[in-house]
Amino acid sequence: MVTMAMALFHRRRARAGHPPLRIDNHRERRFGRAVVGATASTVLILAALTLTSFFAGRSVASLSGTATLTVRITGHQWWWEIRYPGDNPSRMIVTANEIHVPVGEPVKIKLDSPDVIHSFWVPALGGKRDLIPGRPSELTLIADKPGVYRGQCAEFCGYQHAHMAITVIAESREAFDMWRSRQDAAAAAPVGDEERRGQQAFLSTGCALCHTVRGTPANGTIGPDLTHLASRRALAADTLAMTPGALAAWIADPQSTKPGAKMPRVALSADDLNAVATYLGSLE
Ligand SMILES: [Cu+2]
């Protein structure tokens, strides 16, 4: 850029003064040296960046052998399904849009997509990997510091692509193990009348065709697993905060919050709506 600016400036100066009519050998040689110098330094800078990127990529890839945890992520239009395989296949944790990882430990992330191409990207943790239908890929991440890292689908995947965020929560090993054992449990049984009514309405109005709540007959897999819905920080891939009001608003009319989302509007009476929201809000 510097040499280009010099060349432009030089040209303007030459036009303003007397254009050189006669070839000056001394000047030609000087220009020749400058061009060679600029080209060589460009090549060197590019080579250094390429080598750094190559070695950084290799050291990141070598982490995958040492990963202490595997997380499977499936991209859907427009949310992320997250599974933690357990020692026993029936103990697999299924959640959505929020990954918990132990800090300082390499985590292998396996990616796939059943619909269109998505791209997993959490900028603060580096790496970006496409989720291509029929071509599983993987990536290893390591969070050096505890914290909450926001990620985003980085490949245009349809109408609600912008509302397809993913959150990585890096926490201490102890906190992670506690989270994991809580997620491992089946959903809490409804306690009060309102929750019981909510569960009834949930099971009888079609929600259960698309959603799973472990410990109940609901075992649909089209939408996010709701077994521990209220333990998550946000709804619908970080579109709404997890508050009782937002939850009720989402259930009442998902299409006005996230037009095109693959959850239809389900007709519920006002009382049933409140009861369902209370019930789901109790699933911590
Ligand atoms: Cu996407």
Residue 127 CA to ligand 1 center (angstroms) comes to 16
Residue 51 CA to ligand 1 center (angstroms) comes to 31
CATH architecture of 193-281: Sandwich (2.60)
Top-level class of domain 67-184: mainly beta
Look at 183 and 24; give whichever has higher pLDDT. Answer: 183
Please state the rounded mean pLDDT for residues 59-64.
77
Is the pLDDT at 267 greater than 70? The verdict is: yes
Q: How does the average pLDDT of the chain come out, rounded?
A: 90
Confidence class of residue 62 from pLDDT cuts 50, 70 and 90? confident
Q: Compute and round to an integer the Cα radius of gyration of the chain.
A: 27
pLDDT score for 43: 96
pLDDT score for 17: 62
pLDDT score for 58: 84
pLDDT score for 14: 62
Residue 224 CA to ligand 1 center (angstroms) comes to 15
Confidence class of residue 48 from pLDDT cuts 50, 70 and 90? very high
How many other C-beta atoms are found inside a 10 Å radius of the C-beta of residue 82? 21
pLDDT score for 248: 95
pLDDT score for 67: 85
User: pTM for the whole thing?
Assistant: 0.83
Residue 101 CA to ligand 1 center (angstroms) comes to 22
Summarised one tens digit per residue, pLDDT across range 83-117 is 998 777 777 899 999 999 999 999 999 999 999 99
Confidence class of residue 18 from pLDDT cuts 50, 70 and 90? low
Q: Which of 30, 10, 8, 34 is nearest to 20 (CA)?
A: 10
Asked whether the domain spanning 193-281 has the same topology as the one spanning 67-184, the reply is: yes
pLDDT score for 88: 76
Q: Where are the domains of the chain?
A: 2-63, 67-184, 193-281
